[in-house]
Amino acid sequence: MKKTFLLTALLLGTGLAYAQELMTRIPAQANAVATFRTGHFFDLISVDEFNGSVLGKAAFSKSANDPSKPKTVSDLGVDLAADAFYFYTTTDSVGYHCVWLPLKDQAKFESLLGKGNIQRQASSSRLTAADSSTVITWNEKQALVVSPGLRDDFFAIKANAARHGLKILDYQPPVIVDSVSVTDVAATPPDSADLVITVPPPIAADAAKAATEADKAQQKADDLYNNYTKSYAEQENLKKGLALKWAETEASRLFTANGPGITGDPSFSRSLDRDAVASVWVRNLSHVLAPAFSMLGFRNPAASRSSLSGFKTVTGQLYFDNDQIRLVTAMELDKTLADDYKRIYSRKLNKKFLNYVDSDKALGFFSYAVNTEAYLDVFPGLMKRTVPLYLFGEEAEVADLAADIFSTVVDEKSIGKVIKGDALFVVNDIRQREVKYKSYEYEGDDFDAEPVEKTKTEPSPDFLFMFSSDDHRIFDRLLAMGEKKGVLQREGELFKVIKGSDAVDLYLTIRNNIVFVGSSQAQMQDVAKGTIRLKTSARHRSLLSRNAMSFYFGPKTLSQKLATDAWLRDETVLRFNEVLKGMGNVYLRSGGVRKNTVTAELVAENGGSEKNALAYLFRLISAAAK
Amino acid sequence: MKKLLLSLCLCSALLLTGCFQIIEEINLRADGSGTATLTINLSQSRSKVASLMLLDSVNGYKVPSQQKIRQEMAEAAAFLKQSPGISNVKSSTDFNNYIATISFGFRNVANISNLSKTILNRMKIRSSDQSSYSFNTSLLQFKRNYQHITSARTEYAKLKSEDKAIFKDATYTAIYRFEQQVASVSNRQAAISRSGKAVMLRSNILALIDGKTNISNTVQLKK
């Protein structure tokens, strides 16, 4: 027993040390790292269970008939007991997407790579993808995949491009003048000095000659375009060659790297948690967002990189505990942004809202609490910091001006009283609602069309929405006006919407400085009279009152509501219900800003009797795939 | 997260299950002239249609606005007005019940051959309807020829299951009314009215798409 324990400890120790070794080969300056703890994953679900699962089968379905292709995850040659990593590094001119894979069987791994031109070296082997987009380097212990991407903002600067033997192509399509329709070219001078007229002014009297000139102009334009596309292809090839050369150098550097690498970074080290199956760490979100905005076509990426300075480290951890799946995310903010968000999230949800949640019956809810006054107050500053530079490019002052006008015009205090900033939306039921529709019957002597009104049932949610308003005079006036115009019908303190869409019944009322909108007449009558008495569970109370934002979905409650003949007649509902039955509750919560960090947590409870939440997830996927 | 996605996918499938009616009515005089009315009735799915019309697109398909639908209808009507032998074109759209109707007079029933398909196409509704109509005044014989297009089946097969659900309960109804009594009809699915002067043929649109139903019909009137 003691020997077995010692041996296990030794093996585990070796595994950990090796995982650590691969991690040290992630460069210290990496911008983002994702860790997949393969060993932990396969502790929770065995390799055989994975291979037999819907996901396992789907992953290898395409290679089922090819004996040379892998059939199971074990055929990949990857060490399923060690960690795998993705990381992204960047310089001012190039970014590298890289993957470190621990290997167990080099031969099996090589069989995945096909019949490419493998370069064998003393300590490693290398393969370059046919399209030169990726370099794969490996030995018997590990494989490194490097995929480079040159940075457009760097190569948009002529001097930078020239330094690497590249040219910036400036293609301007020529303007072809319609030789027949133009009668007085001299009278219409070009608007811009840059305008290129490729044909001389045609002479209307000599249409044939003008047509020939137009043909020549077209030919010239075609030649220009063809030359451009040829040059473009040449430049792209040069870029590809440059990127590949750099990727090979980077791969060699990483493969033989020594030292602590990223493990020496305190922020990264703090983010490590071996209990998580997968983790993500992003050094600085601003640095990731800026090139992303650049790729999306926003101008002035260089400026946007400095403007988006408020967002810092982002971390995410995915856990599969025995009883729940947890996705925990955290985003660090700089002090200015954190102070702004602290003010925005300074409001708690109105405690009176808790009286309107029936935890036993509610299918789900969504709540949020922000301070409208603070939000409107900090909004212009936020807009100035984040919006103008990447959205408006050189016209940033337009955004500045817009922010100042907004700040001047808006009375934050008054609006903050009308809509305080907290709201709760509760879905209480889903029922079959009778709706009318028009059809035609042809029962007459001559099959004359007779329009008839018929009824049918449709699924309709019963919901209750509420928000706080300390100054609801504007809503009182709106309700009075609605009644006067015949849109609303008053029954005591309750207003029923009688005009507009009949897809859902709508009732409105205001009580205790809360504006209510609901679809259930009975519940809304109780709300209006103040006689509603609902039981909110301690868990829901905590979720709602302690968080700036919360979400809850109760699949089993929904399943119970759907378990009637009327619902289960529908095959889709029947299938849906089978999945719901086996699901646990889902929660999402965000507590706002604490210690300059915004956190959010998604929890999906293990709704079955599986040994852990990963096995539960696999069972759920299998049920949904049926 | 997977659970949320699952729920959303299944809910969208539920949302899109609906049905609609297409009704084609032709009133034919002894000289071969008459009136025709084409009605598209989405009333039974109106709450779903109303919800969908709040969206810009559904399942990758662009959802037309009320204004766009009115414009399409006006264009269809304008097209009809210019068609040979067609007169008195009227169109209406009821956005409370989601019913669209277009009616017109024709000098000869042959004038409306292929019109149904053209109108449906102009309203951006795919149709497999390869119609031709004729009336032999001397034989007093009305013919409605229909040919199934196999590509309709192929196109339908390409649709996602949630999109296919739209056609599940959709129906097509054709009614032909005459001044004379009907002596016989060639299509067994066709019914003759109590007055003996009208013929009705109903089909599920899916059966038309599949080619399981043929709505061709020869109506022989009494001399």
User: How many Cβ atoms sit within 10 Å of the Cβ of residue A247?
Assistant: 24
Q: Which stretches of A321-445 are DSSP H helices?
A: 335-344, 372-386, 388-392, 396-409, 412-418
Quote the pLDDT of residue B111. Answer: 81
Chain A's closest residue to B54, CA to CA, is: A501
* Of residues A18 and B8, more confidently modeled: A18
Three-state DSSP at A307 gives helix
Quote the pLDDT of residue A37. Answer: 95
Tokens 């119609």: give the residue: B131
Chains A, B: CB pairs < 8 Å: 86
Local confidence band at B123 (pLDDT 50, 70, 90 cut-offs): low
Q: Is the pLDDT of residue B18 over 80?
A: no
Quote the pLDDT of residue B120. Answer: 60
Distance separating alpha carbons of residues B198 and B212, to the nearest angstrom: 24
Local confidence band at B88 (pLDDT 50, 70, 90 cut-offs): very high
* Of residues A285 and A485, more confidently modeled: A485
Beta-carbon-side half-sphere exposure of residue A577 (alpha carbons within 13 Å) = 17
Q: Inform me whether the C-beta atom of residue A501 falls under 8 Å from chain B C-beta atoms.
A: yes
* pLDDT tens column, A608-620: 888 999 999 999 9
- What does pTM read for this prediction? 0.72
State the amino acid at position A526 in one-letter form: D
- Bridging pattern class, strands B182-185 and B131-136: unpaired
Q: Look up residue A196 and give its two tokens.
A: 């290129």
Q: Is the pLDDT of residue B93 over 70?
A: yes
Q: Inform me whether the C-beta atom of residue B177 falls under 8 Å from chain A C-beta atoms.
A: yes
The Cα diameter of chain B in Å comes to 72
Q: Look up residue A163 and give its two tokens.
A: 């330094």
Quote the pLDDT of residue A587. Answer: 96
* Burial class of residue B67 (count of CB atoms within 10 Å of its CB; 0-12, 13-18, 19+): exposed
Contacts of A446 in chain B (CB under 8 A): 177, 193, 195, 197-198
CB A493 within 8 A of CB A516: no
Could you tell me which of A362, A365, A413, A378 has the C-alpha nearest to residue A547? A365
Q: Inform me whether the C-beta atom of residue B13 falls under 8 Å from chain A C-beta atoms.
A: yes
Q: Look up residue A626 and give its two tokens.
A: 């049926």
Quote the pLDDT of residue A20. Answer: 57
| Among the ranges given (A22-31, A76-85, B159-168), the one the predictor scored with the smallest mean pLDDT | B159-168
Could you tell me which of A513, A516, A512, A514 has the C-alpha nearest to residue A495? A516
Q: Domain limits of chain A?
A: 2-150+257-267, 154-239
Distance separating alpha carbons of residues A409 and A113, to the nearest angstrom: 63
CA dihedral defined by A210, A213, A214, A216, rounded to 10 degrees?
160
Three-state DSSP at B198 gives strand
Q: Is the pLDDT of residue B10 over 60?
A: no
Q: Look up residue A299 and give its two tokens.
A: 């101008």
DSSP label of A605: E
Strands annotated E in A184-268: none
* Burial class of residue B50 (count of CB atoms within 10 Å of its CB; 0-12, 13-18, 19+): middle
For residue B152, CA distances in Å to A91, B168, B206 come to 55, 15, 10
Distance separating alpha carbons of residues A44 and A435, to the nearest angstrom: 49
Could you tell me which of B135, B131, B133, B142 has the C-alpha nearest to residue B184? B142
Quote the pLDDT of residue A386. Answer: 61
Q: In this complex, do B10 and A579 lie within 8 Å of one another by their Cβ atoms?
A: yes
| Among the ranges given (A180-184, A347-351, A383-387, A434-438), the one the predictor scored with the smallest mean pLDDT | A180-184
The pLDDT of A333-362, averaged and rounded, is 92
Distance separating alpha carbons of residues A37 and A82, to the nearest angstrom: 7
Asked if the interface predicted TM-score (ipTM) of this complex is over 0.95, the answer is no
Q: Is the pLDDT of residue A35 over 80?
A: yes
Local confidence band at B118 (pLDDT 50, 70, 90 cut-offs): low
Q: Look up residue B79 and give its two tokens.
A: 């097209």
Q: In this complex, do B3 and A572 lie within 8 Å of one another by their Cβ atoms?
A: no
Beta-carbon-side half-sphere exposure of residue A454 (alpha carbons within 13 Å) = 13
d(CA B43, nearest CA chain A) in Å: 5
Q: In this complex, do A439 and B41 lie within 8 Å of one another by their Cβ atoms?
A: yes
CB A532 within 8 A of CB A520: no
Range from A96-110, A118-132, B150-164 that averages highest in pLDDT: A96-110
Distance separating alpha carbons of residues A213 and A197, to the nearest angstrom: 12
* pLDDT tens column, A461-480: 899 999 999 999 999 999 99
Contacts of A180 (CB under 8 A, 6+ apart): A202, A204, A207, A210, A211
- Bridging pattern class, strands B34-41 and B21-28: antiparallel
Q: In this complex, do A437 and B97 lie within 8 Å of one another by their Cβ atoms?
A: yes
Could you tell me which of A336, A339, A284 has the C-alpha nearest to residue A312? A284
Q: Look up residue A220 and give its two tokens.
A: 């010239």
* pLDDT tens column, B184-216: 999 999 999 999 999 999 998 888 888 888 889
Mutate: best of A325, A427, A445, A447, partner B, most B CBs <10 A: A447
User: How many Cβ atoms sit within 10 Å of the Cβ of residue B92?
Assistant: 12
Contacts of A570 in chain B (CB under 8 A): 14, 17
Quick one: CA dihedral B164, B165, B169, B171, positive or negative?
negative
Q: Is the pLDDT of residue B126 over 70?
A: no
Q: Given B1, B10, B43, which is nearest A572 (Cβ)? A: B10
Q: Is the pLDDT of residue A431 over 90?
A: no
Mean pLDDT rounded to a whole number for chain B: 79
Local confidence band at A118 (pLDDT 50, 70, 90 cut-offs): confident
Tokens 């870029």: give the residue: A239
Three-state DSSP at A463 gives strand
The number of angstroms, rounded, from the C-alpha of A402 to the middle of its chain's C-alpha atoms is: 28
- Burial annotation B159-180 (CB, 10 A radius, 16+ → b, else e): eeebbbbbbebbbbbbbbbbee
* pLDDT tens column, A571-600: 778 888 888 988 999 999 998 898 899 999
DSSP states along A64-79:
TT-TTS--SGGGG-B-
pLDDT > 70 fraction of chain B, expressed in percent and rounded: 82
Could you tell me which of B141, B192, B142 has the C-alpha nearest to residue A445? B192
Residue B73 sits at the vertex; the CA angle it makes with B70 and B79, to the nearest 5 degrees, is: 145
d(CA A425, nearest CA chain B) in Å: 17
Quote the pLDDT of residue A38. Answer: 94
* Of residues A455 and B183, more confidently modeled: B183
The pLDDT of B142-156, averaged and rounded, is 81
Could you tell me which of B142, B120, B147, B111 has the C-alpha nearest to residue B131? B147
Strand partners, B207: none
CB A584 within 8 A of CB A324: yes
Could you tell me which of A519, A352, A551 has the C-alpha nearest to residue A429? A519
Strand partners, A329: A316, A600
- Burial annotation B29-39 (CB, 10 A radius, 16+ → b, else e): eeebbbbbbbb
For the packed helices B115-122 and B66-82, what is the interaxial angle rounded to 10 degrees? 150
Q: Which stretches of chain B are DSSP H helices?
A: 2-16, 46-52, 66-82, 115-122, 150-158, 161-164, 205-210
For the packed helices A571-581 and A555-562, what is the interaxial angle rounded to 10 degrees? 140
The number of angstroms, rounded, from the C-alpha of B111 to the middle of its chain's C-alpha atoms is: 17
Tokens 């001012």: give the residue: A92
Q: Inform me whether the C-beta atom of residue A579 falls under 8 Å from chain B C-beta atoms.
A: yes
Mean pLDDT rounded to a whole number for chain A: 83
* pLDDT tens column, A139-169: 999 999 999 999 887 888 889 889 988 888 8
For residue A66, CA distances in Å to A60, A71, A78, A537 come to 10, 9, 20, 56
Distance separating alpha carbons of residues A312 and A282, to the nearest angstrom: 8
Strand partners, A330: A315, A599
The pLDDT of A264-280, averaged and rounded, is 93
Quote the pLDDT of residue A544. Answer: 95
Quote the pLDDT of residue A364. Answer: 95
Distance separating alpha carbons of residues A391 and B77, to the nearest angstrom: 45
Distance separating alpha carbons of residues B43 and B20, to the nearest angstrom: 7
Three-state DSSP at B54 gives coil
The pLDDT of A429-438, averaged and rounded, is 84
Distance separating alpha carbons of residues A423 and A368, to the nearest angstrom: 6
Quote the pLDDT of residue A187. Answer: 40
Residues 72-131 of B with CB under 8 A from A: 97, 99
Q: In this complex, do B198 and A503 lie within 8 Å of one another by their Cβ atoms?
A: no
Beta-carbon-side half-sphere exposure of residue B55 (alpha carbons within 13 Å) = 14
Quote the pLDDT of residue A195. Answer: 38
Q: Is the pLDDT of residue A255 over 50?
A: yes
* pLDDT tens column, A156-205: 888 988 998 888 887 776 665 544 443 333 444 444 333 343 444 444 45
Distance separating alpha carbons of residues A160 and B96, to the nearest angstrom: 63
Q: What DSSP element (H or E) covers A106? A: helix A106-112
Contacts of B65 (CB under 8 A, 6+ apart): B53
Residues 456-475 of A with CB under 8 A from B: 456, 458-459
